[in-house]
A and B are shown apart, each in its own frame.
Chain A
């Protein structure tokens, strides 16, 4: 075990995979300088500019070229720096990368990782703050990953790089400096395996990405009030670990899904609907209001799902009050 930041864990994962497999390479804007968040620090020195490749500001061409290179059997890791910018390349991802394997009858695969740092990050306003994971989860052919801890960021990025299908890899910008224990060695997590962060018997809370940590605060508050919440970190949105979530919710009889993204049409809706179809439980979702993210701190805070709201929703479920 080593203490590592979320950022360095991903950096280590990429470096280890590049050492292990000469077909792995990375491309994006400003990678040679270490990337905008310094997630690529030191890598060009080790691997050279052919493999840590700087690109002009041309997201569509970067991603499209990576799809082509992936079809030829190399494993590009594409850096989009903010998930908002990746929208400039959505055709290449959704119409090309996600469809190729199926549409061409299995003759080609697209082993591509698209890194898209997501989420709210100090006053970044409407075009640099979005959480769009549900969009990608909606697209057949894409794997969607949302790691919340340094250990997961290392193990899941390795899994993403080894995946033979395209992966949308959503790191949360707010988590870059988060420190945590990371297992030594070549630790790789399978997709679709949730983590039970805190076991509990009174209700099940499901979350992912940075929101897991806010939920953990809420769970601690609930514990002080005698409510034992089970907190599940989904880790990957597609595939998602239905078994773990449904088993937990069936046991506790109460399911609360919490995400930073806009609540309407969010991935919470998919989980809630699936639970409603398969088990008997009281279900509630919490997400952001359907409003763009404002710059001024009071407006930014107003769209955050904060611990008191989670506690209130959890208590509402546990006490069986009428849900508003």
Chain B
């Protein structure tokens, strides 16, 4: 992904060592095994989301459901750079993030169908899940809300004196919320170990980023506070991983927050009820056929000598997980009405 010329001039805000992260430079790539793992994780998200779309069509999932299809490389590349105890927080488009942290497909799918076996016991639905065990802090439905929360997660890392980092994901649309900039200042001032990841999928609902944002380079959004920022090709899991490594190293070293503007794309509508009239079929088709992250990884793996049988094995294992999740999501019972009164501040 080329940078606009004028960003070069203002490049001071960037961390020199990572200036080219993810821009197709001479980054050390993933090993064959790592790439295979990344491929498998991306495929799991893709197949999971396709199944969720089917279940929605069958009326088994209701309300809001935002699929992550197309963006899989972002969370998978990032997660491969994280370690035990690092936190993740994101918006309502959260299924991929949860699977990437290792949360179980069963629990996620059962939450989509509103069952007792779901991560929130059916109380949250698609947009609102959480896993203490996997350090996944939600699933937030108010655009931008998670950004200041993520800043606080990072604060707690510093406060406790550990070297954990928090990854705070949000969209190109959310990037225009005031608390995002407030958080950037706060985190820079306090040197908090927070990686802000703008998932720029070109649209906030039906509004393209250039109609919503005066800035042409969102990686510079932290520049006034001296926060390093880079643009990353989010359709390439290796580029994403390389950029993530640099960001994690920066934060772990106590150098303060770091911004990644990830260029990505969602193939499906904003949510299940989006007719998608704001973009052309060709635009979507073009991204799918030329930039797809799973296809890209597969080609690379083929060139590294991975054989058809191995791909088929991965395919089958992923399908089994997704089918098991779908079965569980339909057989797990609905929550008992008594759930209404659990985890409430005070009854009454």
Contacts and interface: CB of A to CB of B under 8 A. Distances in A.
B93 to A, nearest CB: 14
B254 interface: no
- Mostly helix, strand, loop or mixed at chain B's interface? loop
A1 B267 CA distance: 45
B141 A128 contact: yes
A295 B119 CA distance: 12
B213 A56 contact: yes
B141 A57 contact: no
B124 interface: yes
Given A60-B178, A299-B339, A290 B348 contact: yes
Contacts of A61: 178
A241 interface: no
A58 interface: yes
Q: How large is the interface on B (under 10, 10 to 19, 20 to 34, 35 or more residues)?
A: 35 or more
A294 B211 contact: no
Contacts of A60: 178
B176 A294 contact: no
Contact of A296 (B64, B207, B335, B346): B335
Interface residues of A, number: 35
B205 A125 contact: no
Nearest to B114: A296
Contacts of B140: 127
B267 to A, nearest CB: 20
Nearest to B142: A127
A57 B173 contact: yes
B125 interface: yes
B159 interface: no
Interface string A265-302: 00000000000000000000000011110111111001
Interface in B143-162: 143-144
Contacts of A33: 206-207, 277-278
B212 A85 contact: no
B268 interface: no
Contact of A123 (B125, B211, B213): B125
Contact of A127 (B127, B336, B337): B127
Nearest to A89: B178
A297 B336 CA distance: 11
A179 interface: no
B175 to A, nearest CB: 9
Given A57-B173, A123-B114, A291 B341 contact: yes
Nearest to B143: A57
B2 interface: no
A123 B176 CA distance: 28
Interface string B207-241: 10001110000000000000000000000000000
Interface string B336-348: 1101110010101
A128 B141 CA distance: 8
B67 interface: no
B177 interface: yes
A294 B123 contact: yes
Contacts of A122: 62-63
A88 B177 contact: yes
Nearest to B337: A302
Given A56-B212, A61-B178, A291-B344, A296 B206 contact: no
Given A85-B143, A127-B127, 14 more contacts: A29-B205, A29-B207, A57-B173, A57-B177, A61-B178, A84-B141, A84-B142, A126-B128, A291-B344, A294-B123, A295-B63, A295-B111, A296-B122, A303-B340
Interface of A: 29-30, 33, 36, 54, 56-61, 84-85, 87-88, 122-128, 264, 289-292, 294-299, 302-303
11 contacts: A58-B176, A87-B142, A292-B123, A294-B340, A295-B114, A295-B123, A295-B128, A296-B122, A297-B114, A298-B335, A302-B340
